[in-house]
Amino acid sequence: MTDDQRSAGAPTLEDVARAAGVSRATVSRVVNGVRNVDPLIQEAVRQAVSVTGYTPNRAARSLVTRRADAIALVVSGAGVEPEAARGDSGTGAPDEEDGGSGGSGSFTAQVFADPFFGRVVTGVVDYLRPRGMHPVLMFAETSRAREEVVAYLRQGSADGALVVSTHAEDPLPALIADAGLAAVLFARPARPVPVSYVDLAHQDGARLAAEHLLGRGCRRIATISGPLDVPAGEARLTGFRDTMARHGHPYIPIAEGQFTQESGEMAMERLLAEHPDLDGVFAANDLMALGACHVLREHGHSIPGDVAVVGFDDSSAALACRPPLTTVRQPVEGMAAEMTRLLLDRLARPDGPVTSVIFEPELVVRGSA
């Protein structure tokens, strides 16, 4: 491209057409991904695009392709509706939909405090960026927010949705399915809906944790479960208890947590009060394991000398722990990338069947067990 051309403004379709020796209409078809264009002509147009430095106008392109080239990444939960919140507490505190400190702000803060969600975003962004697409982060913790997500998708502002639910009673997957919108879920939904999803073999991961603790010689083992109304929390507990029972341990002390560090600390306090002689702990995620380790040290227990601790996820919390945490790896970034691939495949073939992809866990041995 000459200096005169550069000074005249950004390169146009006509510039590309002249460089490729084809018509403007042919260039438009190639740029917009229209099929049935001769491969040699496609290559000539691509080379001309490179030479001229032409960049497609996204707004104009969307008129042709009817695509936004954007994906909604939705973090969703059942949420507490304003009426219910006022009726339960009677405090008159600001509700979620008014943006009070106890509402959507705290939900967002909880999301960003959990390293799991950052790993999901990384996997999605790394997959979309080379394809010229972008995620739009949305939160759906109330009925109004869920309606806004569905309306956003129906209007074509995003081509489809990647949904990460934080609560078993989340109605958003069913709302999206009923609206006939393209979506893929991270984790199997608690209630069956015709939407594709990726997930982990959670019970197998818990089995790895149990076998490792038993292999170390631990015999007085307890577990801090995740919330049992969440499929992953229930599955990890089921897998752990089943494996322990198969090895002759029919009773395992359990304290339920909420996948947060604070809940792990509280659960560990309860377990130590009721079972001061325990020598092994499996926590259903790394944040709860981190909290458990803090409490164990405060009570004068060495890790792993007195009590061995195993977590789940292999998140940044596992490396922040002292000693570094032995944990069951959940390949979140790879799962998020696969979730994104499934959605793009769905967009390319809208009539294709829904599907599921289950990833295998892996035990990562470090200093805590």
Note the pLDDT of residue 153. 92
pLDDT tens digits, 316-369: 999 999 999 999 999 999 999 999 999 999 998 888 899 999 999 999 999 999
Which residue type is seen at 14?
Answer: E
Note the pLDDT of residue 30. 78
Task: Flag whether pLDDT at 5 surpasses 50.
Answer: no
pLDDT tens digits, 246-302: 999 999 999 999 999 999 999 999 999 999 999 999 999 999 999 999 999 999 999
Task: Flag whether pLDDT at 7 surpasses 80.
Answer: no
- How sure is the predictor about 110, in pLDDT bands with cuts at 50, 70 and 90? confident
Note the pLDDT of residue 113. 76
pLDDT tens digits, 142-159: 899 999 999 999 988 899
d(CA 104, CA 47): 49
Note the pLDDT of residue 290. 97
Beta-carbon contacts of residue 235 (< 8 Å; ≥ 6 apart): 202, 203, 206
Q: What's the angle, vertex CA 115, arms to CA 110 and CA 120, rounded to 5?
A: 100
Residue 324 buriedness (CB in 10 A; 0-12 / 13-18 / 19+): middle
Note the pLDDT of residue 67. 59
Q: What does the buried/exposed string (b/e) look like for 2-19 if buried means 16 or more CB atoms within 10 Å of the residue's CB?
A: eeeeeeeeebbbebbbeb
